[in-house]
Amino acid sequence: MLDLVIRDANLPDGRTGIDIAIDKDRIAEVAPGIRAEAAREIDASGRLVTPPFVDAHFHMDSTLSYGLPRINASGTLLEGIALWGELKPHLTREALTERALEYCDWAVGHGLLAIRSHVDICDDRLLAVDALLEVKKTVKPYLDLQLVAFPQDGYLRSPNARDNLARALDKGVEVVGGIPHFERTMADGSAAIRALCEIAADRGLMVDMHCDESDDPMSRHVETLAAETRRLGLNGRVTGSHLTSMHSMDNYYVSKLIPLMAEAELRVVANPLINIVLQGRHDTYPKRRGMTRVPELMAAGLTVAFGQDCVMDPWYPLGAADMLDAASMGLHVAMMTGSDAMRACFMAVTENPARILGLGGYGIAPGCYADLVILQAADPVEAVRLRAARLHVIRRGAVIAETAPAAATLHLPGRPTSVDYTLASKAGPPDRQARRAS
Ligand code: FE2
CATH of the domain at 38: 2.30.40.10
Tell me the C-alpha distance between 25 and 58, whole Å: 27
pLDDT of residue 428: 44
Indicate if 369 and 352 belong to the same structural domain.
Answer: no
State in Å: Cα 131 to ligand 1 middle: 19
Indicate if 226 and 367 belong to the same structural domain.
Answer: no
Average pLDDT over residues 300-306: 98
Cβ–Cβ under 8 Å, residues 326 and 73: no
Active-site entry in 29, 94, 213, 263: 213
Tell me the C-alpha distance between 101 and 262, whole Å: 37
Indicate if 204 and 144 belong to the same structural domain.
Answer: yes
State in Å: Cα 85 to ligand 1 middle: 15
Per-chain mean pLDDT for the chain? 95
Model confidence at 436: pLDDT above 80 = no
pLDDT digits over 408-419, tens only?
999 999 999 998
Three-class secondary structure of residue 279 per DSSP: coil
- Tell me if 345 is assigned to some domain: yes
Average pLDDT over residues 67-93: 89
Number of H helices, E strands in the chain: 15, 17
Model confidence at 97: pLDDT above 50 = yes
Indicate if 209 and 84 belong to the same structural domain.
Answer: yes
State in Å: Cα 41 to ligand 1 middle: 40
State in Å: Cα 23 to ligand 1 middle: 38
Tell me the C-alpha distance between 42 and 322, whole Å: 23
Residue 207 β-bridge partners: 176, 238
Indicate if 351 and 371 belong to the same structural domain.
Answer: no
pLDDT of residue 424: 56
213 is an active site residue: yes
State in Å: Cα 336 to ligand 1 middle: 23
State in Å: Cα 111 to ligand 1 middle: 21
What is the number of other CB atoms lying within 10 angstroms of the CB of residue 278? 25
Average pLDDT over residues 295-318: 96
Model confidence at 426: pLDDT above 50 = no
- Tell me if 238 is assigned to some domain: yes
Indicate if 244 and 379 belong to the same structural domain.
Answer: no
Indicate if 370 and 382 belong to the same structural domain.
Answer: yes
- Tell me if 433 is assigned to some domain: no
Indicate if 392 and 350 belong to the same structural domain.
Answer: no
State in Å: Cα 76 to ligand 1 middle: 13
- Burial string for 281-307 (b: 16+ CB within 10 Å, else e) reads beeeeeeebbbbbbebbbeeebbbbbb
Q: What are phi and psi of 367, to 5 degrees?
A: 95, -20
pLDDT of residue 429: 44
Report the Cα–Cα distance between both ends of the chain, in Å, rounded. Answer: 38
- Tell me if 164 is assigned to some domain: yes
State in Å: Cα 256 to ligand 1 middle: 26
State in Å: Cα 91 to ligand 1 middle: 19
- Percent above pLDDT 70 for the chain: 97
Indicate if 408 and 352 belong to the same structural domain.
Answer: no
Model confidence at 291: pLDDT above 70 = yes
pLDDT band at 264 (very low <50, low <70, confident <90, very high): very high
Range of the domain at 388: 2-50+363-419
Cβ–Cβ under 8 Å, residues 137 and 169: no
Amino acid at 367: G
* CATH number where 328 lies: 3.20.20.140
pLDDT of residue 262: 98
Average pLDDT over residues 404-411: 93
User: Which of 340, 357, 374 represents a domain boundary (last residue)?
Assistant: 357
Indicate if 46 and 151 belong to the same structural domain.
Answer: no
Indicate if 303 and 210 belong to the same structural domain.
Answer: yes
pLDDT of residue 89: 87
pLDDT of residue 422: 87
Please count the structural domains in the chain.
Answer: 2
